[in-house]
Amino acid sequence: MSQTLARVKPSPTIAITNRARELAAEGRDIISLSAGEPDFDTPAHIREAAKAAIDAGHTRYTAVDGIPELKKAICAKFKRENGLDYTPAQITVGTGGKQILYNALMATLNPGDEVIIPAPYWVSYPDMVLLAGGTPVAIEAEMQHGYRISPEQLEAAITDKTKWVILNSPSNPTGAGYGADHLRALADVLLRHPDVWVLADDIYEHLVFDDFKFSTIAEIEPKLKDRTLTMNGVSKAYAMTGWRIGYGAAPEILIKAMSKLQSQSTSNPSSISQYAALAALEGPQDYIAESRAVFERRRDLVVAALNEAPGIVCPKPEGRSTSIPRSAI
């Protein structure tokens, strides 16, 4: 086997998910809290768009990193929801947000390059960095600080080897959100380090609760836009995890490098899923508010129950509760 594999572990999320499925198949009553997956059906108009794509013959290879119509819709989404201007040449579409992150790291990291990752973190970040030959550098975000890193911590972690800083908001697994003020403070640090790029993982953008207002760092500090990859997707917002469509926006030089890598790995994402994603972005958006309200009620119930348990302290997260299924409550 390749020596590269010795640097990484299998995904714990997938391992737990598979074990839960095995136990359920044996007739056990299992509640799986592993994968961040909405337990709602994909909205009907999106499913219908996929069927229509099949009937229209959209079942062949597409451009490696996305059909033009979808790229335009993604540009419109970034403008509409985030105040960010991109051209289709600055957009890439992959088989889920995970591939966007993987492509970016594989296309940019050299041996010895460091990637700063706030912890607790999504389990795949460090291993993807290791697969790409880089070195993950964790910063501990403590509960008393809302599971958010401080600008002082970020400044202390940056070295002359730092290539990327990963910012995931709302965070997997804590649900902690970086508001505009927090991002502004981190951006001020990054402006002093012009060789450091920012990977904004915004996949849980629409799963925010109470009065928390989502922001992304390129929106807060436009001077960082030329060295930021803003990643998102349809999996969480539209209950489309199995459709496997993620997307990212970045300077064209990075997008071209990621497309080159994708051309030699998966090639294009599913053509049918791309047309479904197009319908998700351009169609009715009422599903988002409806599902968010349900997730917020579930969050409140679970947080209250945990805090009633002796010896447990559970802060109320600003977002991300898709791992709490109906069966758990």
Instruction: For Cα atoms 241, 325, 46, give the angle at the middle one, nearest 5 degrees.
Output: 35
* Position with higher pLDDT, 15 vs 216: 216
Please tell me the total number of residues recorded for the chain in this structure.
329
pLDDT tens-digit series, residues 50-79: 999 999 999 999 999 999 999 999 999 999
Residue 11 has pLDDT above 90, yes or no: no
Nearest to 288 by CA among 176, 174, 209, 180: 209
Distance CA 12, CA 18 (A): 10
**45-282 CATH:** 3.40.640.10
Q: What is the pLDDT of residue 322?
A: 66
What secondary structure letter does DSSP report for 142? -
* Position with higher pLDDT, 242 vs 5: 242
Residue 161 has pLDDT above 90, yes or no: yes
Distance CA 96, CA 101 (A): 9
Distance CA 157, CA 165 (A): 10
Mean pLDDT of the chain: 95
For 235-239, what is the mean pLDDT?
96
Nearest to 224 by CA among 203, 197, 247: 197
Instruction: Name the token pair of 242.
Output: 């199995």
Contact of 118 with 145, CB cutoff 8 Å: no
pTM of the model: 0.94
Residue 46 has pLDDT above 90, yes or no: yes
Q: Helix, strand, or coil here: 98?
A: helix
Distance CA 323, CA 173 (A): 9
- When pLDDT is cut at 50, 70 and 90, the band that residue 37 belongs to is confident
Contact of 186 with 152, CB cutoff 8 Å: no
